Amino acid sequence: ASFPLLCFRSPLVTPLIFVLLLQAPFTQPSTITRPNFVLLLADDLGIGDVGCYGNDTIRTPNIDRLAKEGVKLTQHIAAAPLCTPSRAAFLTGRYPLRSGMDAVNDYRVIFWNAGSGGLPPNETTFAKILQHQGYSTGLIGKWHQGVNCESRNDHCHHPLKHGFDYFYGMPFTLISDCQPTETPEMDRAFRRKLWLSTQMIGLITLTAVLGRLTGLISVRWKTLTCLAGFSLLFFISWFSSYGFVRYWNCIMMRNHGITEQPMVTDRTTSLILRESVSFIERNKHKPFLLFLSFLHSHTPLLTTEKFLGKSRHGLYGDNVEEMDWMVGQVLDAIDKEGLKNTTLVYFASDHGGWLERQEDKRQLGGWNGIYKGGKAMGGWEGGIRVPGIFRWPGVLPAGTVIDEPTSLMDIYPTVVHLAGGAVPQDRVIDGRDMLPLLRGAVARSEHEFLFHYCGVHLHAVRWHQKDTGAVWKAHYVTPIFSPPGAGACYDRGFCPCFGEGVTHHEPPLLFELSQDPSEAKPLSADTEPLFNTVIRRIDRAIEEHRRTLTPVPEQLSVSNVVWKPWLQPCCGTFPFCWCDKEGDN
């Protein structure tokens, strides 16, 4: 009876079979061809800077288009409020203190290309797993996870050692020192102290010499010579590094080779865009992973003339609008190569906007919308809640908004599983596969608890109570804003993680984020009947979490972050490091 049915042909049945075949990707994700991945990560972008997250003055039509055609996450959380640790967590799917990439001191990020700290070689990034799965993997833009360990060319922390086949960009991060016309940004307060100390030692030396010449001071010339030598050595000891930040840190590399030292900032944006589009074109016939790690919107806000003065938010707004244009160019390249339906595109920021970044009353940092705090604040939402957008036509439902807690660490297992790989079983992976949530197969995030660190110091914990949908957040430590009530640490430039600049709370401050996302009204045992129950449950979760932590070498220790001349990447013969291979071309 079945044979005549199989052989039967009619104008109605053939189109019906064709339609059912087209629908298979929606219903059978296991049959989907392994997608390409384009991961777009902004630098220092606030959640309030993007149109689809409520900004109606900065124009971001291309990022907004991604959200319209895909899934927008409204509770997407960075694992750290600063670049280096947040990106380490993103790449490894693990809280940064598990890899030693969070700070025990005030040096909370990698400070020099010539430091010895960085993402440890024994960490397995998602790029490394995808490389083993046959993907072409490329990183374009910012790295900020270290370069060398013991010698100038060992490249132990380099992207090519962490699973990327191709790298073009900055091994460090963009800073104002890279722009000769800007006020130096790196370690600004410490540099002022060093200059002052140098002037004082020099003044003492000069006074002693004059006193000896006029006979007012009885001191031996040998002593004066030693004092002068000490003054000179002290000056050289710090000026050899801080005096040449632009040459030591502001460099561009292609794979292991340096292409610009120092970088020529006028063409950086066009080169990064060119490299990104070229990578897509070169790899269109095989599965690929492109991690486009923007230098936007970190100071000094490199912006081409085409976008200067075009926004309603000064240079910062111009810079964000240019980044959005770059997103559009990458999306156009995907469309041009016919890859739209086979490419998963993801857009996010590494942490919240930098509220304190101002220069001559110009606001050079981002805006975090209704959320309290910003960059460097490990507990408050403004430091860690970031944009999160996915697009994969035909697989992820367009125009979807998800308000469940998710993490940048979730990219790791999501990408690995879609590529047909397996996450490592010999270590704790803190991220969770998001595909069921993104596709609407489940209603709740797999995260019950998220731990919010500032350096290695636990500042807050989020409890996603799945039976009720409540999202409780307990703050054990908060920064002291300066001036008081300002919402940031304007007097310091960054809010600290520990010491005199923070307040310890016992009992902790408690908020219910689904009711109070701005964290404006802390609850108490008098106002919230479940207060003690919630705090006890969170305290128990902290104990369980801490049992999963094991001691590891501190990558951001003082000895690892200081400048070491023998580790300095150099285009030439050290210390004569200069080249412009892009200009030569």
Beta strand extents in 16-135 (DSSP E only): 36-42, 71-77
Report strand pairing: 449-454 vs 457-465.
Answer: antiparallel
CB 168 within 8 A of CB 137: no
Q: Report the amino acid identity of residue 195.
A: W
Instruction: Please return the burial class of 267, using the count of CB atoms within 10 Å of its CB with bins 0-12, 13-18 and 19+.
Output: middle
CB 449 within 8 A of CB 463: yes
CA torsion angle for 321, 327, 328, 332 (degrees, to 10)?
160
Count of C-beta atoms within a 10 Å radius of residue 55: 20
Alpha carbons 135 and 129: distance in angstroms, whole number: 9
SS (H, E, C) 430-484: CCCCCHHHHHCCCCCCCCCEEEEEECCEEEEEEEEECCCCEEEEEEEEEECCECC
Alpha carbons 83 and 494: distance in angstroms, whole number: 13
Alpha carbons 462 and 136: distance in angstroms, whole number: 37
CB 187 within 8 A of CB 111: yes
Task: List active site positions.
Answer: 83, 144
CB 405 within 8 A of CB 471: yes
Alpha carbons 106 and 211: distance in angstroms, whole number: 42
Cα–Cα distances (Å) from 18 to 22, 139, 169, in that order, read: 6, 39, 45
CB 192 within 8 A of CB 157: no
Cα–Cα distances (Å) from 30 to 27, 415, 432, 440, 450, in that order, read: 9, 14, 18, 15, 29
184-200: burial string, b at 16+ Cβ within 10 Å, e else: ebbbeeebeebeeebee
Phi then psi for residue 54, to 5 deg, are 115, -5
Q: Count Cα neighbours of 520 within 13 Å in the Cβ-side half-sphere.
A: 7
Alpha carbons 66 and 53: distance in angstroms, whole number: 12
